[in-house]
Amino acid sequence: MEGRTEYRAPRAAIAPVVDGIDSDAAWEATRWQDIDQLWLGPEYEDADFQGRFKVVWTPERIYLLAEIVDDILFDSHRDPLVQYWDDDCLEIFLDEDFSGGDHQYNHNAFAYHVSLDNQAIDIGTDEKARSYSHHVESR
């Protein structure tokens, strides 16, 4: 689709260890992709935010390694289900069929807002904030 970037994640011969360290052979086999798309808020400088990621997969799982540098981490709500979109997080969208369609209140695509305390939150089909932390292992 025009205007969309594509990232092709290689299959990992051996699954990487989920530890936040990029020394596994699986991570060596793929390239970094910059996180450089501003969706909301004011423009930012490199001193404020920099991010990049890598993805590999096995038949059982998708593995994502993200490296984020942020000068100020913001978490204003202790309850992860309250206005989670206002807090700093890593937001991951998975569009399995590359349809580009709406993901809100359905399972056409999946969105995970991984919070600073490693919880994965999004809006469910019932239009309420739900925890999907059981879908995600984060370190």
Give the Å distances, CA to CA, from 137 to 4, 133, 134.
28, 7, 8
Domain boundary pick from 71, 100, 122:
71
Residues 100 and 125 grouped into a single domain: yes
Question: What whole-number percentage of the chain has pLDDT above 90?
Answer: 29
Look at residue 134 and give its three-state secondary structure.
helix
pTM above 0.85, yes or no: no
Q: What is the pLDDT of residues 57-81, one digit of tens each?
A: 999 999 999 998 888 888 888 888 8
**Count, residues in the chain:** 139
Measured distance CA(76)–CA(46) in Å, rounded: 23
Measured distance CA(73)–CA(88) in Å, rounded: 6
Residues 100 and 121 grouped into a single domain: yes
Mean pLDDT over residues 81-110, rounded?
Answer: 80
Q: For residue 52, count other CB atoms closer than 10 A to its CB.
A: 15
Residues 2 and 54 grouped into a single domain: yes
Does 138 reside within a domain? no
Q: Of 31-35, 58-62, 108-112, 121-125, which gets the smallest average pLDDT?
A: 108-112
Looking at per-residue confidence, does 57 or 134 come out higher?
Answer: 57
Number of domains in the chain: 2
Quote the pLDDT of residue 15.
96
* Residue 101 lies in domain: 73-133
Measured distance CA(78)–CA(117) in Å, rounded: 10
Quote the pLDDT of residue 60.
94
